[in-house]
């Protein structure tokens, strides 16, 4: 379905490693990224700022901390 629409999907994991998170953000900047769905316990202010600077819309799935007011988030009810 994504391929038919001319889009792709990339899944990656940084597992809380700062260096890998930086590499991940750098790779988003070099691709024509249209958006990101982030499954992370929290997004640092620096990461939020970088995503905003790059103009990449994103949604957080089940964040622990309260994200920035303009951040889309997805929660699961059990």
pLDDT digits (tens, 9 = 90+) for 5-14: 877 777 766 6
pLDDT at 7: 76
| DSSP reduced 3-state for 61 | strand
- Name the CA radius of gyration of the chain, rounded: 13
What pLDDT is stored for residue 17 in this prediction?
62
Residue 73, strand partner residues: 60
How many other C-beta atoms are found inside a 10 Å radius of the C-beta of residue 15?
A: 6
pLDDT-derived band at 40 (thresholds 50, 70, 90) equals: confident
Nearest one of 34, 42, 11 to 24, comparing CA atoms = 11
Average pLDDT over residues 44-63: 82
């Amino acid at each position: 379905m994504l391929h038919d629409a001319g889009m792709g999907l990339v899944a990656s994991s940084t597992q809380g490693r700062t260096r890998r998170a930086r590499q991940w953000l750098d790779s988003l900047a070099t691709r024509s990224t249209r958006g990101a769905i982030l499954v992370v316990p929290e997004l640092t202010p620096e990461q939020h700022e970088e995503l905003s600077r790059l103009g990449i819309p994103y949604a957080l799935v089940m964040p622990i901390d309260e994200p920035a007011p303009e951040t889309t988030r997805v929660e699961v009810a059990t």
